[in-house]
Every structure is written in structure tokens, then in C-alpha cells.
Amino acid sequence: MAISDKSSPAGAYDIGILGAILSAVGILTAGPLVIPVVALVQAQPPWTSPAVFVENFHRIQTLPFYFAFILIGGSVLMLVSICLLSTKRAAALAGLVFVSIGAALASINYLIQTTFIPAAVSNYTTELAPVISVLSLSNPVSIVWAVEMWAYGFVGVGTWCAAGFFGAGRLERAGKALFILNGVVSILGALLVSIDLRGVFSSTGLIGYGVWNLLYFALAVVFYQVLQRRRIQGTID
């Protein structure tokens, strides 16, 4: 049931709307819009060794990871907004905690890809080969893929926890379904890589990546629409 929004913290809607915009932009720029550009400038061949990776490395390959910071920042802001606006405080707070854990793990990954890997390439010696092998996302069995998938698994747990924020209207039901579905898909992805980490580069893994991108983009767009409508109507859940 909707109730008056008079007691809602000032700017709560703006925080969520900004978060939704950043999440949508981050999804597009960290993946579908930028990856083809990277491939045109300098694509990495399938992983065979650190030496081959270094030989084919170009700084533009780090570009998607800079945009990924926008995605995780937007995700945290969406959950902050839900915490401020939701009457289901405990579930909303749990959602924010899990999304923040995921964002922290993902941030470590992106710091490694944007800062450490280029430095290791620039100063490459055979002693650095094992380090690059372990920390490069080009390697399908790198530890950072495990961190990446579990990071977004935690984000999925967070959106699932926060799904109770949404109400009973058609748009609200769509938002709730997307928040829950993101939880299911993200958790399944984390569990699957714990069984077969190399699966991230399989046909199934790549299809899953595309589906998740579409799902999260839709989640951000619908959340944006829900907040805009609620702000106009002056209601919260």
C-alpha cells in the first residue's frame, strides 16, 4: 500500500535515479558499446600464455573496466535509495550490505585490471609471468574470474533482498521480478563457476553474460521509471 512520502529523506529519489542512470550507462559502456571498439583497436587472442598476452596488450583493453566502476557505483546508489525510501528497512539494509560487498570485490578486480596489469606488462619479466597469469581476466582460470563472478553473485543476493521495496502496480511488479531474477541468475553464475571456472569463456558462459547484461539494463531502466513515477505521485511503498 502506498503511503505519504512527506517523511522521506530529501534527495532519496535523486540518489536512486542517479544510481539507475549510472547503472544503465555502466552496463552499456563496460560491455556492448566499448568491447567492439577495443576489439577493433587491439584484441587479445585466446589465452595461451602470459608472454602472448603481453605481446598483444594495449592500454585500450583496460577501458571497459573504468566504465565498470560506473556500474558498481550506480548499483550501490540504487540500494542506498531503497534503504532511504523502503518501509521494509531490515531487508533493504541487508540488500545494501550484500551489494556493497559485491561492489568492493568488483572494485578490487577493476583496480587490478586498470592499474596493476598495465604496470606488470610495462615492466614484464619472466618472474612476473605467474602473477599476470593469476590476475589477468584474459585467462579463463584466473582467480579474478572467481572474484568477479562471486562479486556479482553478492550483488544478486542484494537485489533479491531489496525486491520487497516494490509495490503492486504493473511497473512495480516488473521491478520486483527483475530484482529477484537478477538474484537468481547472478547466484547461479557464481555457483556454476565454482564447479567449472573455465566455463566463463564457453558458449554457455558468453550467452549468460549477454543475458545478464540485458537483465541488469532492464532492471536499472524499470527502477528509474518506478522512482520517477513515485516522486510525481508523492508516494513510497
| pTM attached to this predicted model | 0.91
CB 47 within 8 A of CB 103: no
With H, G, I as helix, E, B as strand and everything else as coil, classify residue 195: helix
| 97-131 tens-digit pLDDT | 999 999 999 999 999 999 999 999 999 999 999 99
The residue whose grid cell reads 566463463 is 200
Mean pLDDT confidence for 230-237: 71
Q: How does pLDDT run across 32-75, given as a tens digit for each residue?
A: 889 889 989 999 999 999 999 999 999 999 999 999 999 999 99
The pLDDT of residue 4 is 40
Burial of 125 (0-12, 13-18, 19+ CB in 10 A): exposed
